Amino acid sequence: MKPFEPADRVKTLPPYLFAQIDKKKAQLKAQGADIIDLGVGDPDQPTPSHIIESLQKAAADPRYHRYPSYSGMGAFNESVARFYKRRFNVNLNPRNEVITLIGSKEGIAHLPLAVINPGDIALVPTPAYPVYSVAVSFCGGTSYFMPLVEQNGYLPDFSAIPKDIAQKAKLMFLNYPNNPTSAVASPDFFKQVVRFANENNIIVCHDAAYTETYFDGYLPPSFLETPGAREVGIEFHSLSKTYNMTGWRIGFAVGNADVIAGLGKVKSNIDSGAFDAVQVAGITALDSDQDCVEEMRALYARRREVLVEGLKSAGLEPMSPKATFYVWTKVPKGYGSADFAELLLTKCAIVVTPGNGFGQPGEGYFRMTLCLGEERLAEAVERIKALKL
């Protein structure tokens, strides 16, 4: 038999950013280094106990041991609709405007299969979550990158997109509050999005994974609050960051019924749905009082102050986030993003994510997470100070 030859789509796929970081981190750990990992946005706190207890009870129930529904339990989708009404004052039909996902990443990756034909164009922000462009390329589509730059508040400039590109584009990805920059979007911006999508017949995919991690009285809006948004797109959400459930793999998409149906048709041919017992726990998370979420926001706010003020005292220029648990920071003069991330790793045993790993406009920045305790964040600051930047 000939040696394994991967498909062209795999050959041309860049190495997954966080897999590369994990490899370097493992090498240092093997050498005995005390690693402070501020690279991946994975909450360090446990899932709240009432959610765990709900899963334990449901997992023991034989009713939930068979194949789940492709589109999700009716009760979970109804719970999502209640959450959207309570949080955003958005009315959703749980039967055709909500679909359950095995984590929002899965749904985001599958959506282009329902929208993009080979040769089609998708508008993709950069720097951004790498899955957007990878999912488009897997369909044979082409990503037209919309630069997110500091001067524009890390919002795309639709007027800079050539008219022929805009008219050919079929899909646009957006993500606010934003990963990696922590930037936020206003209702006025979302009105621009709806207008642009209508003018060019573009489906909008808004990744809203971080709307529940916010500070200082700021309340992130849903794209679907915008008049006309439901006619042009859908929104993805996840329980991962809100309830410390990254490993549970449960999320959902809501919005335009036709787009939801297209995503559902793809999923029915690829996966068999989320484990019903996890969906039962998800109902508990969404329908219970949200004190645990408020406590997490307060925890991240304290951590934010430790890290942001500490980085400033070390001579760096961090952006204090209004939302998300990311701190986006300029690299010191004389360094590139990868160079400085390598310096922090080798000299300080601190893992950060170089900004250019999210796309070329991220060059000159790096991202740190708030997913470690205050003591470890303070220790990271002291190690950086020792570099005397």
Nearest to 180 by CA among 311, 339, 43, 363: 363
Distance between CA 275 and CA 258 in Å, rounded?
25
Amino acid letter, 278: V
Whole-angstrom CA distances from 85 to 79, 92, 134, 232, 259 are: 10, 8, 33, 20, 20
Burial of 329 (0-12, 13-18, 19+ CB in 10 A): buried
Cα(248)–Cα(375) distance, rounded to whole angstroms? 27
Average pLDDT for runs of 10 along the chain of length 389:
83 69 80 92 97 98 95 97 98 98 97 97 97 95 98 98 98 98 98 98 98 97 98 97 98 98 96 96 98 98 98 97 98 94 93 94 98 98 94
Decide: residue 373, CB within 10 A, 0-12 exposed, 13-18 middle, 19+ buried.
middle
Query: 155: burial class by Cβ within 10 Å (0-12, 13-18, 19+)?
Result: buried
Query: 243: alpha, beta or left, given left = phi > 0 and alpha = psi -120 to 50?
Result: alpha
Element (H, E) at 104: helix 104-115
Chain Cα centroid distance, residue 83: 19
Query: Which domains are assigned to the chain?
Result: 8-46+292-385 (3.90.1150.10), 49-287 (3.40.640.10)
φ/ψ of residue 316, rounded to 5: -100, 170
Round to whole Å and give the CA distance between 306 and 327: 11
CA–CA separation, 68 and 249 (whole Å): 14
Other Cβ atoms within 10 Å of 81 Cβ, number: 21
